[in-house]
């Protein structure tokens, strides 16, 4: 069964709100084995919405929409569907009762505008909205199915899970399972990564392989469809084992794993602690580490050494080094790592200094220059990078590099 998701609302096209409904619906439908092949977004315009619905009906078996079920004149989703399918709208009394009671609990009165939400296309199945006033509907027409869901994410998610999933399961045989696995890689570019697994990409069928560039990393997504989840996972396992022969050195995690969580597990297992001296990242790396519950077991603390005075006064960077070699230098980063390790009595010290931009560059040190150093049981190590991008992008890429370096260092101990 081919599914198309249509999100409605001019605010989506203007970029005023983030469209979280489409990703949620795609993920849930894929888990049920349905093929989501199209995403469309259309504003609150009757002509254009009719065109989008017509196109969806021509190429898809199931159309699921979000938004446009509210009380305002711009909420036209059900009206467009009713006119397109030549079905009159009628007032659904049970929905009116539900709205009246819900509004009363909120000390609000029913208005004529609210009643628009209870207007339902003839023959439609009504989906109760336990978290809001606008009911959803399911319209079956010429072997096609249109499902209208509300726009607010908490309303849509509850209605989908409690009403749409049971409907789909009762009306369709098992669609099998679509399973995806994400392999996180670091330290290799997209084109180089593709070259290493090109033979598998060119011969792919089921599972499929996709390379996706993300901020500070490249991910490899493997997707398989089979009659069961276990069978799909077995297909992915087989392909993943082959891929790892070529790119194992670059894979650090999979699926929802994060570098900071991954590092936390390693530090905990090895009973190591870490302290940070951050300059250009302004505490970003510490913040990411503390996003993980229980990080107090291995993170001793950190200092944002943003100015030269803080570098010299608090982590023992010698003024002579800064004068002769600069605050952004290999030597400064190494002294920061050693200084913070000693000051906080940590197993490992991490020092980061660089130029996040857009100002501060020199002829020999462009924007994006960073030095990262680690001091610990394996001695002092450092890296020099030059990252491209805007200031916030550079800061995040530096944090990725530093965390990856910390991970590699701790694994070696």
Helix residue ranges per DSSP H, 327-390: 330-344
Kindly state the tokens that stand for 142: 């010429």
Kindly state the tokens that stand for 232: 């799909």
Per DSSP (E only), the strands in 57-204 are 62-66, 89-91, 119-121, 125-127, 136-141, 144-149, 177-185
Contact between 324 and 331 under an 8 Å Cβ cutoff? The reply is: no
Contact between 353 and 380 under an 8 Å Cβ cutoff? The reply is: no
Give pLDDT, residue 81: 97
CA–CA gap between residue 223 and residue 217 (Å, rounded): 19
Using a 10 angstrom Cβ sphere, with 0-12 exposed, 13-18 middle and 19 or more buried, the burial of residue 37 is exposed
Is the torsion defined by CA of 269, 273, 278, 283 positive or negative? positive
Contact between 273 and 267 under an 8 Å Cβ cutoff? The reply is: yes
Question: 278 pairs with which residues across the strands?
Answer: 304, 352
Contact between 32 and 232 under an 8 Å Cβ cutoff? The reply is: no
- Residues 6 or more apart in contact with residue 257 via CB below 8 angstroms: 184
Can you tell me whether residue 93 is helix, strand or coil? helix
Long-range contacts, 15-24 (Cβ 8 Å, 24+)? 20/153, 21/66, 21/67, 21/149, 21/151, 21/153, 21/156, 22/66, 24/153, 24/156, 24/157, 24/160
Using a 10 angstrom Cβ sphere, with 0-12 exposed, 13-18 middle and 19 or more buried, the burial of residue 104 is exposed
Give pLDDT, residue 112: 85
Contact between 117 and 133 under an 8 Å Cβ cutoff? The reply is: yes
pLDDT tens by residue, the chain, 413 residues: 899 999 999 999 999 999 999 999 999 999 899 999 999 999 999 999 999 999 999 999 999 999 999 999 999 999 999 999 999 999 999 999 999 998 888 888 888 888 999 999 999 999 999 999 999 999 999 999 999 999 999 999 999 999 999 999 999 988 888 999 999 999 999 999 999 999 999 999 999 999 999 888 999 999 999 999 999 999 999 999 999 999 999 999 999 999 999 999 999 999 999 999 999 999 999 999 999 999 999 999 999 999 999 999 999 999 999 999 999 999 999 999 999 999 999 999 999 999 999 999 999 999 999 999 999 999 999 999 999 999 999 999 999 999 999 999 999 99
Is the torsion defined by CA of 268, 274, 407, 191 positive or negative? positive
Can you tell me whether residue 64 is helix, strand or coil? strand
Q: Domains in the chain, please, with CATH?
A: 2-171 (3.40.980.10), 177-254 (3.30.70.2860), 259-411 (3.90.950.20)
Contact between 187 and 404 under an 8 Å Cβ cutoff? The reply is: yes
CA–CA gap between residue 322 and residue 103 (Å, rounded): 66
Cα–Cα distances (Å) from 196 to 191, 245, 384, in that order, read: 9, 10, 25
- Residues 6 or more apart in contact with residue 19 via CB below 8 angstroms: 7, 12, 41
Residue labelled with tokens 């009906």:
57
Is the torsion defined by CA of 240, 245, 246, 248 positive or negative? positive
Q: What H or E segment, with its residue span, contains residue 50? A: helix 46-59
> Whole-structure pTM over 0.85, yes or no?
no
CA–CA gap between residue 51 and residue 46 (Å, rounded): 9
């Amino acid at each position: 069964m081919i599914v198309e998701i249509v999100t409605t609302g001019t605010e989506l096209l203007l970029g005023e709100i983030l469209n979280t409904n489409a990703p949620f619906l795609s993920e849930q439908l894929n888990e049920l084995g349905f093929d989501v092949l199209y995403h469309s977004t259309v504003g609150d315009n009757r002509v254009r919405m009719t065109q989008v619905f017509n196109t969806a009906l021509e190429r898809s078996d199931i159309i699921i929409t979000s938004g446009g079920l509210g009380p305002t004149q711009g909420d036209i989703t059900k009206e467009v569907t009713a006119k397109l399918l030549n079905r009159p709208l009628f007032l659904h009394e049970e929905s009116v009762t539900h709205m009246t009671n819900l509004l009363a609990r909120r000390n609000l009165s029913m208005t004529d505008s609210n009643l628009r939400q209870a207007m339902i296309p003839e023959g439609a199945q009504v989906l109760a909205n336990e978290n809001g006033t606008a009911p959803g509907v399911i319209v079956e027409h010429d072997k096609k199915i249109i499902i209208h869901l509300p726009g607010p994410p908490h309303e849509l998610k509850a209605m989908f899970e409690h009403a749409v999933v049971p409907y789909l399961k009762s009306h369709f045989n098992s669609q099998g399972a679509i399973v995806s696995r994400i392999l996180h890689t670091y330290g290799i570019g997209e084109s180089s990564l593709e070259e290493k697994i090109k033979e598998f990409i060119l011969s792919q069928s089921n599972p499929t392989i996709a390379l996706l560039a993300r901020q500070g990393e490249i991910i490899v997504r493997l997707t398989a469809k089979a009659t069961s989840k276990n069978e799909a996972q077995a297909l992915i396992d087989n392909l993943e084992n082959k891929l790892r022969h070529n790119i194992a050195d670059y894979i650090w995690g999979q699926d929802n794993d994060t570098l900071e969580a991954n590092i936390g597990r390693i530090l905990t297992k090895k009973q190591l602690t870490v302290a940070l001296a951050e300059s250009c990242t302004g505490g970003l790396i510490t913040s990411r580490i503390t996003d993980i519950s229980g990080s107090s077991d291995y993170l001793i603390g950190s200092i944002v050494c943003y100015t030269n005075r803080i570098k010299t006064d608090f982590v023992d960077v010698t003024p002579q080094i800064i004068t002769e070699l600069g605050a952004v230098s290999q030597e400064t980063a190494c002294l920061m790592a050693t200084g913070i390790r000693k000051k906080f009595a940590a197993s490992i010290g991490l020092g980061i200094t660089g130029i996040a931009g857009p100002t501060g560059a020199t002829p020999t040190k462009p924007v994006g220059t960073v030095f990262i150093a680690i001091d610990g049981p394996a001695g002092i190590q450092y890296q020099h990078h030059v990252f491209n991008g805007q200031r916030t992008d550079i800061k995040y890429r530096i944090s990725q590099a530093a965390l990856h370096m910390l991970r590699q260092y701790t694994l070696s101990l």
